[in-house]
Structure 1
Amino acid sequence: MRYFISQLTATAIVAILISHTVMAQSVQTKVPPKGWNSWDSYGMYPTQEAMLANMEVMAKRLKPFGYEYFVIDAGWNKVKDAQGKIITMSLDNYGRYIPNKETFPGGIKAVADRAHALGLKFGIHIMRGISRIAYRKNMPVLGTKYTARDIADTTSLCKWNHDNYGINMKKPGAQQYYDSYIALLVSWGIDFIKADDIAGHPDEIDAVISAIRKTGKPVVLSLSPGGDSRPEYFQTYKQANMLRVTRDVWDDQIGIDRVFTAWKQWSNIDHDGFWLDMDMIPFGHLCLHNPDKNYLTAKPDPNKHGVKQSEHISFFNADQKYTFMAMRALSASPLFMGGDLPTSDDFTFELLTNKEMLACNENGVVGKLVSDHNNIEIWKTPNKNMPQKGWIGIFNRNGEAVTVKLTSTLLGFEGTAVSLQDVWNDKNLGTVSSSAPKEVKINAGGVLFCKYEIK
């Protein structure tokens, strides 16, 4: 049956809008979520031992600053041979993934229980769809007369992962499969789900959302990957809590460029508590799953750009790290550290816990581009509670140092003076105006990240 706006009373329209608002998210996150994710450091090879070690450090060093979600990414369900090669995946009798007993002898629940004991929340990665193994074995869907072959769409494939088929949500038993799988995860103590290969499939997003709501538990939902994120699906995305809007971001200039591109594309989207995710923070000790005994002195492979490499300490230099974190703060992106916490350096923790950076990020406003001239980009994020204040980033996207003459007009404050406080150096830069400019030197690929106040 079709309904036309002209046939609806004003009261009915308001009721529909209110209903949509109430159903928009299963749980609200007042600030961009913060935490740790295993992918950048452990890839497809997380283990219970390594996860618990990282969890202890997170609770000690990051939790006091609001980092609360400990997330195990892909690989928790993979079965490996004696040489460590992935040979299959662990499933229960209903085609649902379960942890590999060799790498998670206590199961996922034991890890989640420890997270909760430490005052953290626990998350896990899933792939869209149903296992191809379940399809081959024609495993039943729990609580129904249907099987994996009844609901699988063998033409709906992930381009970069061959574990699953997509699910035809028009088929009977399809929603019940997602209901049973999400219910299983929640029974382990899951507080956060990262659903992968799903951003291009709004019908399966709806299915996951519905399944989460049926559990009655406030689970945060992160949608991925960024490559298939489409603005026309935004109303569907807003049912979740965060959306990857970039491809994978690693510790090279390509990664930084990807964030700038996504920021420009999505900065005008009204998110209202829904967060644009710029991927993990590739700082510290990375790629331990591909060991290199000389990792402390490892150099980037010139043939690999924008992808993971062998074990190493983050290839970002200090200026790139300052730029990276300023972007995350000014864009209100979720902050998920990717490096191995027990072996990462103190400078990484200093950046992750900088008080003013966190204040800017938790302000929850996506910054807008004020100026883009000669590869100098200026982005501004106003303080949502105090409009005379906020934060601003002057990014040098050139390959060499540049001197910039700052005026209030250049910074987007026409006809007024503005005081600036350098965030990273905790230094008062004084007041600038159109009649009283100030010259600053910004290193190649660097940033002047400031707190401002309009005078």
Structure 2
Amino acid sequence: MNKSKSIFTVFLLVSFVLTYSPLSSQEPKGKGNSISDLAPTPPLGFNSFDSYLVFLSEEKANAMIDIMADKYKPFGYEYFVIDAGWYDNVELYKGTYYPKKRLGLAIDGYGLPEPSKAYFPSGIKPLADHAHEKGLKFGVWIIRGIPKVAVEKNLPIKGTRYRARDIADTTSICVWSDKNYGVDMSKPGAQEYYNSLIDKLASWGVDYIKVDDMVPNPKEIMAIAKAIENGGHKMMYSLSPGDVNSMDNLPYYKKANMLRITADIWDNMLSIEKGFYAWEKFFGLEGNDFWPDLDMIPFGRLCVESPDFLEDIPEEAKSRQSLFTQDQMKTFITQRALAASPLFIGGDLLTMDDFSYSLLTNKNMLACNQNGVMGVNIYRAGNLDVWLTPNKEDPGKGWVGIFNRTTTDRKVKLSKYDLGFTEFKDSYNVVENTNAFKLKDIWNDSEFIIDSDYKFFVPANGVVFLEYSELSTIK
């Protein structure tokens, strides 16, 4: 057997050492025992935003927990996450879950969130208990800072002599949500506020938090990491949003388990292109309980509880079946498999169609994703990309994606070198591997062997997703 390596291996080592090694001297020490070891591979789960926006009810949540445990847990999906809206006080239109009138945030006497009586009258803990009984883990969305209403009332910070106005930074406000002020982490009582927030969520059985408006605020990223560690909680920590990240803050991002690296992703080609851009930007930074996150998977039925009866509803918020074509869906999920992105289903689990389900639970796709290595772009010509992800356990095996980023079907001839099957004769001489390779076409469920050039048909906006084995390594 030839001792072969892919271009990916050397590129990974060189780019990481040259580009990111200077960060090590400034990185905050330790991840904390409560956050580490929770995500040895990219986390898998469901998040409610794509399907229910901020209008999820406990009835639907309980039903989806049952479906997830039965149909998705056997494939490794384990986190059931409720996104925004769960602590909104609202008056609903009769017969709907859409708010006729917004009454502000539901909070307790310490400025901490309480479940919405409109959406979760039984509370959050029973939902978490239900998820745990089904063998799942449970998560919720929260947003950075302290509620403005808590500051207006100057509520006490639990366990301290300080109050909300002592810690609020009234100049720090999320650009897309005006419900909170930031927390000034230089003030006494600030860390205690975040400690009390995380302690309360943990007391309900929350295993996962998605924290919004955090990415541009490294001091508050650290505050929540410390709160998880201070309480001794085993809690997955995910950062959002993804379109405001900076490599200067990478040491702080790594205090979490997941980092959104894209803006909101929906069922359109622009979102797929956002994924390619973010994948290249964050290449080589995965692993060690830290996973760059390409956002949720908008397959199936979306925006189920959208108020379609009202005028001027944004297109993305309208109730619909995912607008992706089947080829775009294959491209989308292949991208996430090869990029080792966390996989969080966004579509409605209660009505998921068979084709979407077949992609989400494909064992070869999941094996590539759970391999936990971000692939590298090894070939690009005329909007045709080839990306390669090596098998971390065996350098003679791995996965390749041939992506057609155009609206026209293409037939392309690629060599083994184009596919990344290379050898190193010496430090400066990279040549095509002379061995034959066995390829499995994952989406077409076929196998073939190549020992020279090969012609591939790649549909418009589509992909050929291959699992490869160097022939001499096949048992």
The 1:246/1:289 distance shift into structure 2, 3 A limit, reads same
Pick from 434, 440, 443: which aligns with 1:421?
Answer: 440
1:40 alignment partner in structure 2: 50
1:439 matched to 2:439: no
Aligned runs of 1:379-390 on 2, under 5 Å?
Answer: 379-390=387-398
**1:68 alignment partner in structure 2:** 78
Larger RCO, structures 1/2 (Cα 8 Å, 6+ apart) = 2
Return the alpha-carbon distance in structure 1 between the equivalents of residues 334 and 385 of structure 2. Answer: 12
Q: Residue in 2 aligned with 1:187?
A: 203
What SS class does the counterpart of residue 181 from structure 2 fall into?
A: strand
Q: Is the 8 A contact 1:71 1:124 kept in 2?
A: yes
Structure 2 gap segments, 5+ residues each = 1-24, 94-98, 423-431
Alignment pair present for 1:58 and 2:74: no
Match for residue 32 of structure 2 among 23, 33, 55: 23
Q: How does 1:84-163 map to 2 (within 5 A)?
A: 84-85=99-100, 86-163=102-179
Look up the SS of the partner of 1:288 in the other structure.
coil
Q: Residue 260 of structure 1 is aligned with which of 261, 269, 276?
A: 276
1:13-45: CA deviations, max 9, x gaps? Answer: xxx999935638723211110010000011111
Residue 404 of structure 1: which of 409, 412, 421 is its match? 412
Q: Is the 8 A contact 2:28 2:252 kept in 1?
A: no
- Kept after mapping to 1: 8 A contact 2:26/2:251: no
CA distance in 2, matches of 1:68, 1:62: 8
C-alpha distance in 2 between matches for 1:317 and 1:270 = 29
Distance 1:88 1:145 in 2: 26
Question: Helix, strand or coil: the match of 1:114?
Answer: helix
TM-score normalized with structure 1 length: 0.91
> Alpha-carbon deviation of 1:270?
5.0
Number of residue pairs matched by the alignment: 427
**1:353 Cα deviation (Å)?**
0.5
Aligned in 2, Cα 1:388/1:404: closer, same or farther, shift over 3 Å?
Answer: same
TM-score scaled by length of structure 2: 0.87
Alpha-carbon spacing, 1:171–1:22, altered in 2? closer, same or farther (3 Å): closer
Find the counterpart in structure 2 of residue 201 from structure 1: 217
Which of 250, 254, 259 lines up with 1:234 in the alignment?
Answer: 250
Quote the Cα distance in structure 2 between the aligned partners of 1:173 and 1:244.
29
Q: Could you report, residue by residue, the CA deviation over 1:387-442 in whole angstroms, capped at 9, with x for unpaired residues?
A: 10000100000110011102101112232233211011111132242xxx111111
Distance 2:376 2:271 in 1: 20
C-alpha distance in structure 1 between counterparts of 2:269 and 2:205, whole Å: 38
Q: CA distance change for structure 1 residues 50 and 404 in 2, over 3 Å: closer, same or farther?
A: same
Question: For 1:283, what is the secondary structure of its paired residue?
Answer: coil
CA distance in 1, matches of 2:31, 2:218: 19
C-alpha distance 225-366 of structure 1, shift in aligned 2 (>3 A): same
1:375/1:398 contact within 8 Å kept: yes
Contact 1:24 1:238 in 2 (8 A): no
Equivalent pair of 2:33/2:229 in contact (CA under 8 Å): no
Separation in 2, partners of 1:87, 1:406: 60
Provide the aligned C-alpha RMSD in A: 1.9
How far did 1:264 drift?
1.1
Identity %: 47
